[in-house]
Chains A and B, each alone.
Chain A
């Protein structure tokens, strides 16, 4: 009786999650009912776009880690009464629609944008800031920074304070406590932060389109173009999606090596 109650959900997941994924695989390998490896083989033509996506997403992930780790340390060291408020202030921009946030950077980085006006005051520029790879990485860092900060903070906040005090009693200064005690214990958070930034960053198509101009296509743009863009080709799109899924799965498996079951999902 009790098991029956989950039946609608099981059917739903089968029809709307599992079947669509099977269809992606089918479209990647079958055209007009015939098995073909053409589309999967064609994906290799876009190797440069794959490499660019992986590279830019990796840079963005590393920058997110470098920026948010100290923030997490500072937040956990802050007065317990203010931690919640501070965290809320850091997370607040996340609640703005991310298209709007990315669009804001368009206006800041433009040739007549605020940043170039600022440079102009010192007689510098104007520099080409928008439609560059740097702008794409900036957009990724800006949009996904909280995805790195939150898991690291969550894990760090749970570290037993007495362990840190013990390390201090045994002669560690603040730097050594962080390096020898806090960092190893926070690794599960770091690992889930890395996946939570890397996966959306590698598959984005908005950020590259808005901040990268036409010249910095990413995997996401490539997929979007096959389904809704000019070069309608669902078979190729499905093949690219399949490769993207495999890359993401590899990254996840790699990151999961470091932590068993205590990683925070959100």
Chain B
């Protein structure tokens, strides 16, 4: 059955994207806030539709090619909420700029693609979702029109093309092996297929999805893009596409037979991703680049429960909880950097606590949250994902998670410590220190809101968990 009504949130997002794209051409530049209002309305509509849908039992649409269940519902809500929050950064950064409405359209398209990825229950839908989520990203990164953003866009594009082909290769092999692209039938037929060929396909598929998630082995574009793109784009591309890609990995994992050794592939990707991201982040002096590497390591953490999908009932709820917590916490951290766009070196943050106490508090909550300090949302996420992995027989992966959490503390502290030091004395002959610049209003508000949300999700983790477990 088609049942297109089940895809109302996706249709809203895609329709909203077209509306803003076309509408933007007819609205004068000083009235572009109208387009922003339309975008907000579309996202709020999508969130509401998704939330209502969450209360219904799991089902699927378009001949079982798109599942509409708790995971999809959660992905819709988190992705649309993430994009909605990021609009606050856009309100400061690109308000009245020549490419404002186009940016909104690209954000909406990419959000739609991420949600499509999350719900894909068919290899072809997966491929479509991948492309829909990726192509707008290249443009988003390139919109900043600086040499760095051009380089980052080029790098992302090349990486995307390479790993997109890998993904399509995996899709082709699997559908050739099983004679079908639907997940339901793949589950039945794959155990009989050639094991080595299927394993090759699995590696190709997971690697392709890791491009979208920004994890090893397809992570090279992330730090460049986080550094070179506008704050809006950087926050978006390190947050929303991950939601779709990681849930797509989860769904694939439920389909694949263990004989393809996918759990090992995923476990190795998780371990290498968190370790490499952490080690590389340590040397960064640009806060955005540091956060870029930090998101690489976070992907490693989030993907951990996937290894236990067959063995632990904690796997899916913990994954969803971590994604929700990561989304708000990562946005909070990026929002701090967006609120002070001139501060592109960690040392510039010296004295932040004296001049922008609220912003410093948000930074503290966000960064300690990313480390996994209780009672923030990411702590509960890390706790439950590690528990799920241990429960599923991967105790060593849980230990790797904890060791990496300690390592990650080093570089997050490199940002927190200067922020809480006394302000540097004013340079000779001038009476204002670099910290006295006013923070961008909406970004600062977003930072505080998102940090508060990250605490709230952590404290109210029981409620989120129940929703994620479909209770």
Q: Do A and B come from the same complex?
A: no
Interface of B toward A, CB cutoff 8 Å: none
Which residues of A come within 8 Å of B, CB atoms?
none
